[in-house]
Structure 1
Amino acid sequence: MKRFREYILITIGFILVALSLQLFLVPNKIAAGGVSGIAIIINSVFPVLEVGALMLIMNVILFIVAFIVIGNKFGGKSIYASLGLSGTIWIMDKFNVSSYVLTKDLLLASIFGTLLGGMGMAMVFNQNASTGGTDILAKILNKFFHLDIGKALLSVDFIVTLFAAVTFGADVAMYALLCVIINGFVIDNIIEGINTSKEIMVISSKINEISKYIIEELDRGCTILHGTGGFSSKKTDILYTVLQRKQFIKLKKFIKEVDSRAFITVSESHEVLGEGFKDILADE
């Protein structure tokens, strides 16, 4: 069931990316890096070659090269997401979806295309998958030229925008570069928002009741730490737990009922790994 849910989320994710390309970026010739950017540039020179078909061919070639050069570093979810995105765009090309362009304003197309695409990419990345393409090129550069993955990704996208400048002009290329920059921020912030949990510490005379509520009612774990009061020098117990936002609301209400004098500190954790949350060694 968990695996099925992961693939459903990945599917929704790459459909959003496909829509961002077809409704905003492709009609306005905004080649915002990656395989999709290369496909947009080639399509403008050879219109008979559809963006989706080009992406599908390039991704298949890149995966074959990656298996030969890098080895088996790409799991089933990444292959599914990569080929699924290319296939979806290819199907949309057949139905001429890009003709339903929502705006011809380059700024609006850049902003809304990047927001929609970033949302989709975040959903894919959050399931420990990727859409291939640029990631594969970056890993090849990392292997042969020892570039950091992040720098390699930026280098590939920058080269694509240079070709976009030659093909479409400097103005369109600068919008493409703007999309590349914004996309990273969008993806990071959405993933952080999805994975944000509440890290909670409680000092209370009713620690046993509170820990029992967390374990039995919220189905979460907790840890009891033993401390000493700095002012009173009395021994005291401190409860530590990590909960989802909705669970914390329930816990706060319960603590208010059993011990209104409890001392609670709350902070946000942008990523939690381990039992009950994301697997530490999540495979693809």
Structure 2
Amino acid sequence: MDNKPKYLSTIKTLIYIIIGATVFGVGVQGFIVPHQLLSGGISGLSLIIYYIAQGALSLGAINFLLNIPVLYAAWRWLGRWHLGVTLFGTLYMSVIINVLSPLSTLELTHNPIIGGILGGLFSGLGLGIVYRGGGNTGGIDPIALIIRNRFGLQIGSILFGINMMILVAGAIVINIEAAATTLISTYLSAMVTNKVISGFNQRKAMFIISYKPVTICNLIIEKLGRGATILNGEGAYTHQPKQVIMVVVSLLQVARLKAAVEAEDPTAFMVITDAAEVIGTGFSAKSTKGAVERVLQTCDPVKEAEAEQLIHEVQVARQEIPSDTHKEEH
């Protein structure tokens, strides 16, 4: 029973890889190869070799051979589970690219620029699906994951930076026109990748300065079902103490919260900014205790007492603490 969630999660990841890699393969064989354009990452290097060899080697075989050092990197820095996912993704990507090779003869578009745009959209969508499911397809994907884990950068942006170096090589070996068109394709691919991963579930961080912090906190809890954090601040000119309410909401909740705050306190000052990634209960985890703890970060003493009691009941139910003891402090 304990292994079932992990087993199902792995199956889900593999399904995402299959769907995403297939979409990526359609983009490469349907729009990139017919116009002898390039792609990003290891697949871009594979295309350069494929064009030089004039089809003597299959694109899938070249892709797999170039990924062998990457498989070592996945094992060395990402662990055995990621190694297995990377190996599966690399093999499937290499096979599906060869299976979809007849698409390159259909001439789906006669305009290289349109081919580059559609190729970028398809490849970006495919990679985004793979990453959203927690997988990768070899190439520079594991390298991008390592960089993201260490520095917190967006995967699409990391890929775009690395791909620029590959495009320089492509411009020298193939021609500058193909490299320039690929630049458009790669940029679109990176943007679509980021959007698929986080854009359709985009979060906004809001900072609210109001003389009614308790009321605003209650609005956030009751109207949006979100928690909030109060930060102590000071006015730079008056040096008067102020309380800043920080809350993270979904894109659809921004307008509702703005209207509610403006109706309650027309003098409130609000700053709204993008949240590139949000990790925590209510956004990326499913924890009853964590959800209740967010309420503790609000300033309502009544709700705080209720939340502490609920946490205690949850711990008792999970046998985290004896039932005859009381939680002394959160």
Using structure 1 for the length normalisation, give the TM-score: 0.68
Cα deviation, residue 127, structure 1: 5.7
**Residue 247 (structure 2) aligns with:** 241
Aligned partner of 1:183 among 186, 191, 209? 186
Amino acid across the alignment from 2:261: I
The alignment of Structure 1 onto Structure 2 pairs a total of residues equal to 258
Give the match's secondary structure for 2:258.
helix
Q: CA deviation at 1:50?
A: 3.3
Structure-2 separation of matches of 1:34 and 1:227: 46
Q: Secondary structure at the match of 1:104?
A: coil
TM-score by length of 2: 0.60
Match of 2:124 among 118, 137, 140: 118
Is the contact made by 1:31 and 1:161 (CA closer than 8 Å) also made in structure 2? Answer: no
Indicate yes or no: 2:137 matched with 1:131. Answer: yes
- Of 86, 94, 97, 2:94 maps to 86
Q: Is the 8 A contact 1:119 1:187 kept in 2?
A: no
Q: Which 5+ residue runs of structure 2 have no aligned equivalent?
A: 146-157, 286-330
Q: 1:262 to 1:202 in 2, by over 3 A?
A: farther
CA distance in 1, matches of 2:164, 2:38: 14
Distance 1:137 1:275 in 2: 25
Q: Deviations over 1:229-270 (max 9, x none)?
A: 67887655331112111122332343355x152514132224
User: Residue 181 and residue 278 in structure 1: after superposition, are their counterparts in 2 closer, same or farther (change >3 A)?
Assistant: farther
> Residue in 2 aligned with 1:221?
227
Gap change, CA 1:72 and 1:252, over 3 Å in 2: closer
* Equivalent residue runs for 1:142-157 within 5 Å: 154-157=164-167
Counterpart residue number, 1:16: 23
1:23 maps to amino acid: G
Deviations 1:77-111 (A, max 9, x none): 44444333223223323xx2333331122222122
What letter corresponds to residue 21 of structure 2 in structure 1?
F
Q: Is the 8 A contact 1:21 1:113 kept in 2?
A: yes
Secondary structure at the aligned position of 1:248 is classed as helix
User: Following superposition, which runs of at least 4 residues in structure 1 exceed 6 angstroms of deviation?
Assistant: 136-139, 148-152, 229-234
Of the two, which has the highest radius of gyration? 2
Distance 1:138 1:198, change over 3 A: closer
1:254 aligns to what?
260
